[in-house]
């Protein structure tokens, strides 16, 4: 019997080979890089394409500084009454042209009018008292003058009596001598009495003068009270600090306003500035006065306004955990019609490295 031919043993079963972990990681990283490059994630070097848009308040590596801001009038004022009250009159409306000193809003002045009237009555009474005191001083001065004249007359009478006594002959009787001496004594007493009256008149004049000083002081205080009452009444009205345009009027007649509440805004719309208050420390370090700026107004597309940096804040304030600075740009070209106070603008500031 021929032995059967031996069958070859089948080859061992192959298992799918596995890549090492490091190789897989390298492949994944390569795919991610390819996706990022395809989407423009890397810039610089030989890469081309549009630069990454600048974010307001952030300094890109290859552009200037871009920040959001607002339009503000060079001369603008937000006005409110010094004291609260109810609005009685609003003689202007938004858009009106006004002159300096024009009344823009008036609160109810009925109580203030009564205070002014009372103060004026007190001043009138004080003025009358002053007039009476002045008349008393004039009378007292006249009394002093008369008393001093009486002193002079009494002194003259005494001198005459003394002269008459000196003329009595040495051989005159003792009765004649006694009579002459008595006349001298009488006139001397008259001098003393006149002097006493003059002293009393001068004392009365001093008293009248002091009363006049007091009356004048009272009148001055009364006048000050009138001024204070008038000022308090005037404070119930808002007047224009300069000529310009009424931008807004907040309250209406009958509304109750609080002290210091902004009621009226006025501005000179002929001159504008653009300010930003959100520039970071890194951004502001690249800025200087005179750098060119291009201003675009969000509400007025297509109108680029040339400007220059007018001021760079020297003091930073805290805002949401960051220190930010105020920068103001002044236009060097035409400002488009329709620009309004607080319109949002974008400032693109050219720096030395841009």
Residue 325's Cβ-count burial label (10 Å; 0-12, 13-18, 19+) is: buried
Average per-residue pLDDT in the chain? 85
pLDDT above 60: residue 57: no
Q: 171's torsion region: left (phi>0), alpha (psi -120 to 50) or beta? A: alpha
Angstrom distance (rounded) from CA 303 to CA 305: 6
Give 186-213 pLDDT, tens digit per residue. Answer: 999 999 999 999 999 999 999 999 999 9
Do 330 and 310 form a contact (C-beta atoms < 8 A)? Answer: yes
Do 345 and 296 form a contact (C-beta atoms < 8 A)? Answer: yes
pLDDT of 171 reads 84
Which tokens go with 320? 């949401």
Do 54 and 350 form a contact (C-beta atoms < 8 A)? Answer: no
Which tokens go with 223? 């006048």
CATH number of 65-108+243-349: 2.40.30.170
Residue 97's Cβ-count burial label (10 Å; 0-12, 13-18, 19+) is: exposed
Angstrom distance (rounded) from CA 50 to CA 40: 9
pLDDT band at 5 (very low <50, low <70, confident <90, very high): very low
Do 278 and 257 form a contact (C-beta atoms < 8 A)? Answer: no
pLDDT band at 126 (very low <50, low <70, confident <90, very high): very high
Angstrom distance (rounded) from CA 142 to CA 180: 34
pLDDT band at 320 (very low <50, low <70, confident <90, very high): confident
Angstrom distance (rounded) from CA 297 to CA 288: 23
Average pLDDT over residues 330-350: 94
Residue 285's Cβ-count burial label (10 Å; 0-12, 13-18, 19+) is: middle
Give 212-221 pLDDT, tens digit per residue. Answer: 999 999 999 9
pLDDT above 50: residue 52: no
Angstrom distance (rounded) from CA 201 to CA 137: 11
What's the predicted TM-score (pTM) here? 0.60
Average pLDDT over residues 8-30: 48
Question: Which one, of 248, 327, 351, 334, lies nearest residue 297 by Cα?
Answer: 334
Angstrom distance (rounded) from CA 336 to CA 350: 22
Residues 279, 281, 282: CA angle, nearest 5 degrees: 95
The per-residue DSSP string of 42-65 comes to --STT--SPPPPPPTTB--SSS-E
Angstrom distance (rounded) from CA 122 to CA 132: 15
Do 270 and 331 form a contact (C-beta atoms < 8 A)? Answer: no
pLDDT band at 6 (very low <50, low <70, confident <90, very high): very low
Do 201 and 143 form a contact (C-beta atoms < 8 A)? Answer: yes
């Amino acid at each position: 019997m021929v032995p059967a031919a031996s069958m070859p043993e089948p080859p061992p079963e192959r298992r799918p080979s596995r890549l090492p972990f490091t190789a897989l990681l390298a492949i994944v990283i390569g795919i991610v890089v390819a996706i990022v490059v395809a989407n423009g994630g890397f810039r610089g070097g030989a890469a081309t394409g549009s630069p990454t848009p600048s974010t307001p308040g952030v300094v890109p590596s290859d552009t200037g500084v871009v920040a959001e801001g607002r339009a503000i009038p060079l001369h603008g004022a937000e006005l409110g009454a010094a004291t609260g009250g109810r609005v009685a009159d609003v003689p202007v409306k938004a858009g009106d042209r006004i002159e300096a000193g024009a009344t823009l809003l008036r609160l109810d002045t009925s109580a203030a009018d009564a205070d002014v009237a009372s103060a004026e009555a007190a001043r009138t009474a004080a003025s009358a008292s002053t007039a009476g005191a002045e008349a008393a001083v004039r009378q007292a001065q006249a009394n002093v003058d008369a008393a001093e004249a009486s002193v002079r007359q009494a002194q003259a009478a005494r001198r005459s009596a003394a002269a008459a006594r000196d003329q009595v002959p040495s051989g005159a009787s003792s009765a004649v001598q006694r009579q002459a001496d008595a006349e001298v004594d009488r006139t001397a007493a008259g001098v003393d009495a006149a002097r006493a009256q003059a002293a009393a008149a001068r004392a009365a004049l001093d008293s009248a003068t002091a009363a006049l000083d007091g009356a004048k002081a009272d009148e001055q205080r009364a006048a000050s009270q009138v001024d204070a009452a008038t000022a308090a009444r005037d404070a119930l009205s808002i007047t224009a600090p300069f000529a310009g345009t009424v931008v807004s009027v907040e309250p209406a007649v009958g509304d109750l306003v609080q002290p210091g509440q902004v009621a009226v805004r006025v501005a000179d719309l002929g001159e504008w500035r653009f300010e930003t208050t959100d520039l970071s420390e890194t951004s502001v370090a690249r800025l200087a006065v005179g750098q060119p700026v291009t201003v675009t107004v969000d509400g007025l597309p297509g109108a680029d306004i040339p400007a220059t940096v007018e001021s760079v804040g020297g003091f930073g304030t805290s805002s949401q955990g960051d220190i930010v600075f105020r920068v103001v740009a002044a236009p060097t070209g035409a400002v488009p019609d329709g620009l309004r106070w607080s319109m949002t603008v974008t400032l693109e500031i050219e720096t030395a490295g841009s």
